[in-house]
Chains A and B, each alone.
Chain A
Amino acid sequence: MDSKVPKGPLAAKWTQHKNDINLVNPANKRNIDIIVVGTGLAGGSAAATLAELGYNVKTFCYQDSPRRAHSIAAQGGINAAKNYQGDGDSAYRLFYDTIKGGDYRSREANVYRLAEESANIIDQCVAQGVPFAREYGGLLDNRSFGGVLVSRTFYAKGQTGQQLLLGAYSAMNRQINRGKIQSFNRHEMMDMVLVDGKARGIIARDLVSGKIERHSAHAVVLATGGYGNVFFLSTNAMGSNVMAAWRAHRRGAFFANPCFTQIHPTCIPVSGDHQSKLTLMSESLRNDGRIWVPKRMDDAIAIREGKLKPIQLKEEDRDYYLERRYPAFGNLVPRDVASRAAKERCDAGFGVNKTGEAVYLDFASAIQRYGAEEALTHGIKNPDEKEITRLGKGVIEAKYGNLFQMYEKIVDENPYETPMMIYPAVHYTMGGLWVDYNLQTTIEGCYCAGEANFSDHGANRLGASALMQGLADGYFVLPYTIGDYLSKDIRTGAIPTDLPEFDDAEKTVQDRLDKLMAGSGQNSVDFYHKKLGKIMWDKCGMARNAKDLQDAIDEISALRTDFWANVKIPGKADGMNQELEKAGRVADFLELGELFAKDALTRNESCGGHFREEYQTPEGEALRDDENFKFVSAWEYKGEPKDAVLHKEELKYENIELKTRSYK
C-alpha cells in the first residue's frame, strides 16, 4: 500500500506538498466536473470550496436538504490548537494527543496535517458567522474533552455540529446561488461508474420519483459518513448508511479497519424493545459530571428495584470508578476506556437501571462548586445551601441547558435533581475507505473525506475531533489534493453518460432493485436489521473474542441469504418508497457486518475501541501488539466478504515513540 506521504520533516510535509503538486488554472476549472456525495461537514465544506475555486460541482444527499446531514447532531465541540487559554497547547500536542488517543493506529503525516489545519478552521468558521461561545471579554471560550490535558475545544452551546454544518451549508448556498453547485437532494448514490479504471460518475436514485439517473464527472468525492447503523441501535441518524462507500468498495476501493468502532460512554440507556435509536449526551458533560455506581451490591439491587434513590446514597457508599482507576485523567479518560469501565461495572452487577445497564453521571458536586464560585463573584456573603444550589444550577443550565432538557424529555427525570443515567452506545466508526495522503481511495479519481475514510483517528477517536477532521478534509485538504489529479484532465472534456460503463452500472442497479422487490415477503426490513444489530452488539461490540467473532461471521452470512430470499418490501420501486431505501442500505450492512467481524477476528490484539478479551493485562487494560499488528488493514473486495483479501499498510512512527497508552 502506497500512502504517498511526502518526504521531509513532519512539520514541513504539508506545506512542501502543496508547493509541489500541480494546479489547474481558473479557466480550465470551469471545464471540470466534480461529484460530491454527502453534504455533511466534509462533503458540504468540500463542495463549497471546490465550487468557489471554479469547478462545476454536483452534490447528492438522501435528506431533503443538505442542512440535515447528521453532522448536525454533533454536540460538544471542535478541537483546534489555538492555545487561546495559554495552557501550552500547540499543533504538535494536538497531533500527539490524537495519535496516542487513537492507540497508535493512525498515520502520522495525516494527523499532523489535521492538527496544523485545525486553527484555520476556527478562523474560517468565525468569518462565516458561526456563533461560537464567547467570554465576557468578547473572545472565544474553550472547554476540555477526554484524553487531553489542555482546553482546546471550541463550542456553540451543545449544538456545535449544527452551527458548523449550517456554516458549511451557507457556504454551499452561496455557490448554489452562483450556479456553481447543483444540489440533488432526496437522491441516493446506488453505484459508482468506472471508465478505464477511473471513477467517472455515479448512478443515483431520485428518492421521490424512483427514477434511476446517470451523473458523470471527472472525479467523485465520497463524504458519506460512518457505518455505525450496522448495529441497528446507534447514535447515528436513521438514514445514515454505508451504501456509497460499500458500492465503491465493491468497485475496487479498499475498506480499511472496519472493526474500529467507537462506543461512546455517555448515551441515554435503552428503554425497551421498541427503541429505534440512541441519544448521545455530549462528552462535554464529563467536564463537570462525575460517573459512579454504588459500592455495595445490595445498594445496586435496591436501586434497580426502585427501593433506594441515588441521592440517598452517602458519598462513601459510591464508587467513582473512573476517578479510582485513572486518577490522572479521572472522568475525562478517552471514550473507549470510559465505555469499557462502565461495561465492567455493569457486568459485575452494579448497574443502576431496570436492565442493569446504566451508570450515573452526577452533577451535584459541580452545582455546589459553581454555586459557591458564583456567590463569591457576586459578593453574596454567607450564602445558604439553597442559594448556592440555585446559583450552581444556573451555571450548569447556561453550559448544558439544551442537553439537560433533551435528557428530561426522553427519560422523564430532572437531571438537576437526580443524577443522569447513561450507558455506552455505538457512535462513530474510525474505519472506512482506505485513502492515501491525498485522500484518494484505491480507485483513481475516487476521493473520500470525513468519517467515511479511515485516516486520522486510528483505533479510537478523541472527542471534538470528528468535526475538526470533516472540516479540515473539506475546506483545506481535499480541494488542493484533488487539483493535482484533475490537472491531468484538462483536455478530457465532459464525460458522456451514454458509455457502456454507465449502461452496465445502471443495469446492475436496476437488477438489484428488482431482486429486492422480488423477495418472498416473509419479514420486514427492520426485522433483519434488528437481528443483524443484535449479532453485532453481542459479538462484535465492546468486548470481542475469537469464538464469538467466528459465530458472528457464520450468523451474518446466513442472515444475508435469508434476507435476499425472504425480505418483504411493500409498494413499488417507481415512486417514493422508504422501505425500499432501507432495504438497499440493510443489504449492504449485511455484507459490511461480516467483513467487520472478519477484520476483528484477524486483529489479534486489543487497541482503542477494538478490545479482544484474549489480549488484556491482569488489570483488564488493553494489550496492544505493535510487533505484529502495527498496520492498517485494507480489505480488497473479492465477491463474498469471507473472500476479501487483506492488504497491510505498515505504520511508521518517526516522530512519536510508541508507548503503552496510560491515563492513570
Chain B
Amino acid sequence: MEMRSCVEDDWLMVFHLQGEIDAQTGPEFREALEQARTEGQRWFLIDLLKTEYLDSVALGILLGTAKETSKVGGRLAVACNRPNLVKLFELAGVKELLNVQETPAAARSLLEQAHQTAGQSQDGGE
C-alpha cells in the first residue's frame, strides 16, 4: 500500500491510498488517521480510486474514524468507484455512513457543504 496525505485549504485532510488495505497494511493507515485526529483534523477525504483491495480491516478503520470525527463535529467521505470495493461498502451497510462517492470531487463537494454548515452553526452560536 502506498499512502499520501495532504491538507487542502487549511481544513480538509486528504488521503490517497494505492494498492491493498488489509491486516498487513491497515495499521499504517489507522495510525496516520489517529495522528491526524490527535493533531486536530476532523475533516477527511479518503481517495480510494487507486485502491485495488480492501476488506473488513479497512472498513473498521474508516468506520472508527467516521464515528470519532462526527463526535467532534467533523466528517469523513470516501471516493471509490471500483465495483468490487463499492460492493463491500454496500454489503456491510456502511456506504451512506461513510459518504461513499464515485469521485473525489463529489466527496469534496459533500464535505464542503457540511463544513460550511458547521461554520455557520458556529458563527450563529457565537
Do A and B interact?
Answer: no
